[in-house]
Amino acid sequence: MSAAKPLAEKKNLLLCFDAFGTLFTPSKPIPVAYAQAAARHGINVGNTENPKEIASSFKQAFKKASQENPNYGKATGMGAEKWWANVIEDTFTPFLSKDQTFPPALTQELIRTYSSGLGYKLYPDVKPFFNMLHYARNIPRHHSLPGIWPWDRTIVGIITNSDNRVPEVLTSLRFKMSSLRYGHDADQKTRKKRSRRGQDQDVDFTVLSYDVGFEKPDRRIFAAAEELLASTLGASESSSDSPASTFEKLYVGDDLTKDAFGAEDSGWSSVLVQRDGIDCQGYGLKVSEEQVEGEGEDGKKRRVTKVGSLADLCAWRPGKEHEAFPVRYIFTKRD
């Protein structure tokens, strides 16, 4: 009897990212932005540079809204915009003077700010990484970038616990987004048109907890991404040589439990982003033992692969929990 052949390494990659805290972050702390906006609309919130009372009030309002109308209001038919309007009004109502009415223009300003790139900024390592990825995805098939990006084909997705504003925010931050979104089906003709445009896009599909009805670390949100991978490949003229089974699945996020452990418990690989300073230059791959939440100091620990920059993802290989030096590359800015 001949010896069994080792399983071949997969040559394609499904690469999915968390959004908030992984790709972008608020331009200024949200309590500060809220306090400054309220002051412009005549509400006395006290110290606008260190608004601890606003931060506490926002937290309480957010918790109350989540309990009464889960999933940003979708569970009760309210919708995300009305849900956020309630959070904003409940945050500032304790600061109104006796005869003062709440200014609707404040709600409009804050919703507009946080529905676009006005309220957010990309981390410094994000655009350089996606510029490299754009180049890697557009060179001839089976001609990967030696030493930089080894994958023949890369499909990029967003998986995030959020309402329906994330695609608009990323578009405003100059990401080229596919319109493919979980729960928003399109006919075959439209999917094929999107697939032909795919090489020019930064993101091939988006999975929102708002649409799925479940948040990370629930494995059903990762299963939704696998469905969209199959849909993306099914609309591609070249899908016959790269079915979903040939794809490694890697999830990149900044939360240990929701992102790293959630992905691994769903059968994916994971990388935890812990940026290493203002410029996010990266420190390569680091592997460490991390405490599982709720297990106590002497409880169960799990191995976690960490990066200090998205650039360090170039050193990641499936099934290899090893440390690696940073990968350096320079790609010119593109529009």
| 92 and 136 co-located in one domain | no
Residue 313 lies in a domain: no
Could you give the 3-state DSSP secondary structure of residue 108? helix
Residue 81 pLDDT: 96
* Residue where one domain finishes, among candidates 238, 268, 298: 268
Q: Could you give the CA distance from residue 37 to residue 243 in angstroms, rounded to a whole number?
A: 50
118: which 2 tokens? 């006005």
Question: Facing residues of 138 across strands?
Answer: none
CATH code (residue 98): 1.10.150.720
* Residue where one domain finishes, among candidates 222, 237, 268: 268
| 127 and 246 co-located in one domain | yes
Residue 308 lies in a domain: no
| 142 and 221 co-located in one domain | yes
| 78 and 214 co-located in one domain | no
| 49 and 140 co-located in one domain | no
| 245 and 218 co-located in one domain | yes
Residue 176 lies in a domain: yes
- Contact present, 102 and 93 (Cβ < 8 Å): yes
- Contact present, 254 and 22 (Cβ < 8 Å): yes
How many structural domains are present in the chain? 2
| 192 and 262 co-located in one domain | yes
Q: Could you give the CA distance from residue 167 to residue 183 in angstroms, rounded to a whole number?
A: 14
Could you give the 3-state DSSP secondary structure of residue 243? coil
| 154 and 180 co-located in one domain | yes
Is residue 192 classed exposed, middle or buried when 0-12, 13-18 and 19+ CB atoms within 10 A define those classes? middle
Residue 5 pLDDT: 41
Residue 159 lies in a domain: yes
Residue 312 lies in a domain: no
CATH code (residue 183): 3.40.50.1000
Could you give the 3-state DSSP secondary structure of residue 98? coil
The pTM of this model reads: 0.87
Owning domain of residue 224:
12-23+123-268
Residue 2 pLDDT: 43
The pLDDT tens digits along the chain (335 residues) read 444 444 456 789 999 999 999 999 999 999 999 999 999 999 999 999 999 999 999 999 999 999 999 999 999 999 999 999 999 999 999 999 999 999 999 999 999 999 999 999 999 999 999 999 998 888 765 555 556 888 989 999 999 999 999 999 999 999 999 999 999 875 444 555 555 545 689 999 999 999 999 999 999 999 999 999 999 998 665 445 568 889 999 999 999 999 999 999 999 999 999 987 666 666 666 777 676 665 545 557 888 898 888 988 988 888 766 666 665 655 545 55
| 137 and 232 co-located in one domain | yes
Q: Could you give the CA distance from residue 221 to residue 147 in angstroms, rounded to a whole number?
A: 32
| 76 and 151 co-located in one domain | no
Residue 91 lies in a domain: yes
Residue 332 lies in a domain: no
211: which 2 tokens? 């649409």
| 220 and 94 co-located in one domain | no
222: which 2 tokens? 């990762």
Report which residue type is found at 181: R
Cross-sheet strand order for the sheet of 153-160:
205-208, 153-160, 12-17, 247-253, 269-273, 301-307, 285-291
Q: Could you give the CA distance from residue 232 to residue 12 in angstroms, rounded to a whole number?
A: 14
- Contact present, 237 and 99 (Cβ < 8 Å): no
Residue 331 lies in a domain: no
- Contact present, 169 and 27 (Cβ < 8 Å): no
| 96 and 147 co-located in one domain | no
* Residue where one domain finishes, among candidates 268, 291, 321: 268
